[in-house]
Amino acid sequence: MVHEPVLMVRVQARTRCACGEGMGPGDRAGRINGRGKLLCLWCLADLRAGRPRPRRRATASAWPVPAAGQRHTTAARRSTSGRRRWTAALLAASVSVAIGALYLQSHLFGASASTTAHGLHIPGTHVVIGDGSSLVGQHSRGARGLWPPVPSDASTHPLGAPPASASSSREFAFMRTVSGSDRPVAWDPCRPIHLVINDMEQPVGGQQLVEEAAAQVSAATGLRLVIDGPTAETPSTGRGPVDTERYGDRWSPVLVAWTDPSVIPRLAGRVAGLAGPAGAPFSSPDEEHWVSGEVNLDGPDFAEILRRPGGWPIARAIVMHELGHLVGLSHVPDAHELMDAENTGQIAFGPGDREGLRQLGLGSCFTD
């Protein structure tokens, strides 16, 4: 693992990393101790994690040709979080040309077979959720006895309602379904979903991007997303659904972190965001629901997107995609949906996205 300081710079002209990875003008790279050959973010992430740096990771050009999207067919791969990849050729002179040039390639994070935790699993950076084993007998009220008290801003009735079904589309997929059914694991609609923002690498306009994306998700689900304000919490491994020292005896608010690959190595390269929900421990299927989560956004990547003509709707679409994962949507192989793993220009939720989000807004209340 590298302990020497790394000087981060912007590449001025097309060049290549020691491993052969192409880098173009404006890309971020680093020099160990401020000297030597520029190292791409892939190699810096490898070094930081203690992995051996490959001698060759060459690509045909500074920006690789988009590969065919990865298809996930097993249940374990469907019950995952998402990450979004975007090419450098995001935008050209006009928004229409720019959107046509946009390339997104998303990959799901596979759930670790070595853990019984439910919810978000990021290989190498686990976010441990609730214990998925039977909790009956460990407390007089089963799993519910382990849940934090119902907060004062909760209600006995849903705080909002999703729109009436206006689409017969089946082009949506859920992170997880309730055991023994096809119903999605969803959030409690009777309490707000609180979000806190770490703005360490937040680009200009980043707060507004999150607000606008959250409003879109709220309108599509009826769930109330509330931004509480800033936090000093940083993304970390093993983030559980409760942190009493930081947030008190409550489900931890969703952490939205504007960060970069030096903190979250999986954001290296063309990955702009990572997101997923966290589940409560449960004793029976009717207790399964999401209670917390995490969204990691690559601030420098967003800053670059926002500097380009027409970049705002593209940047907002990325955040909407990640919040779609947060509330429970997985990827679908349909170019007309924002949750497509290979988006080629979609900047709004499609009919399948909206139907999936509508169903995610019909979850059970847990305020009794």
151 with 243, same domain: the answer is yes
State the angle between helix axes of 299-306 and 311-327 in degrees (0 to 180), rounded to the nearest 10.
140
Decide: 238 and 277 in contact? Cβ < 8 Å.
Answer: no
Helix or strand run (H / E) with residue 229: strand 225-230
- Which of residues 65, 85, 107 is at a domain's end? 65
131 with 237, same domain: the answer is yes
Domain range for 320? 75-360
Residues 52 and 36: their CA atoms lie apart, in Å, by: 18
Decide: 330 and 356 in contact? Cβ < 8 Å.
Answer: no
Instruction: Classify residue 297 by its DSSP letter.
Output: E
pLDDT digits (tens, 9 = 90+) for 236-258: 867 889 999 999 999 999 999 99
Helix (H, G, I), strand (E, B) or coil at 144: helix
- Which of residues 65, 83, 99 is at a domain's end? 65
C-beta neighbour count of 260 within 10 angstroms:
21
Task: Judge residue 320's burial from the number of C-beta atoms within 10 Å of its C-beta, 0-12 exposed, 13-18 middle, 19 or more buried.
Answer: buried
Residues 141 and 24: their CA atoms lie apart, in Å, by: 58
- Which pLDDT score, from 0 to 100, does residue 294 have? 96
Q: What is the CATH number of the domain that holds 87?
A: 3.40.390.10
Q: 10: Cβ–Cβ under 8 A, 6 or more apart, which residues?
A: 26, 27, 28, 29
- Which pLDDT score, from 0 to 100, does residue 57 have? 44
244 with 295, same domain: the answer is yes
Q: Which residue has 């008290």 as its token pair?
A: 149
- Which pLDDT score, from 0 to 100, does residue 6 have? 74
**Residue 1 CB-half CA count within 13 A:** 4
E strands, 212-329, are 225-230, 254-259, 271-279, 290-298
Number of domains the chain is built from: 2
Residues of the chain with pLDDT under 70: 1-4, 33-35, 48-141, 237, 343
Q: Is 140 part of a structural domain of the chain?
A: yes
Decide: 222 and 281 in contact? Cβ < 8 Å.
Answer: no
Give residue 261's identity as a one-letter amino acid code. P
332 with 289, same domain: the answer is yes
262 with 220, same domain: the answer is yes
Q: Is 2 part of a structural domain of the chain?
A: yes
Regarding beta strands 107-109 and 81-85, do their DSSP bridges make them parallel or antiparallel, or are they unpaired? antiparallel
Residue 191 to residues 143, 157, 259, 282, Cα–Cα distance (Å): 19, 9, 28, 18
Q: Which residue has 């975007």 as its token pair?
A: 86
56 with 91, same domain: the answer is no
Helix or strand run (H / E) with residue 351: helix 351-360
Residues 209 and 214: their CA atoms lie apart, in Å, by: 8
98 with 56, same domain: the answer is no
89 with 35, same domain: the answer is no
Nearest to 122 by CA among 8, 304, 263, 321: 263
Output the pTM of the full model: 0.66
Decide: 184 and 173 in contact? Cβ < 8 Å.
Answer: no
165 with 227, same domain: the answer is yes
Residue 192 to residues 71, 201, 210, 292, Cα–Cα distance (Å): 34, 26, 16, 11
Q: Is 104 part of a structural domain of the chain?
A: yes
310 with 282, same domain: the answer is yes
Nearest to 127 by CA among 274, 258, 6: 274
Q: Is 366 part of a structural domain of the chain?
A: no
61 with 79, same domain: the answer is no
- Which of residues 15, 30, 65 is at a domain's end? 65
- Which pLDDT score, from 0 to 100, does residue 64 have? 26
Residues 126 and 130: their CA atoms lie apart, in Å, by: 12
Question: What are residue 92's DSSP bridge partners?
Answer: none
- Which pLDDT score, from 0 to 100, does residue 83 have? 42
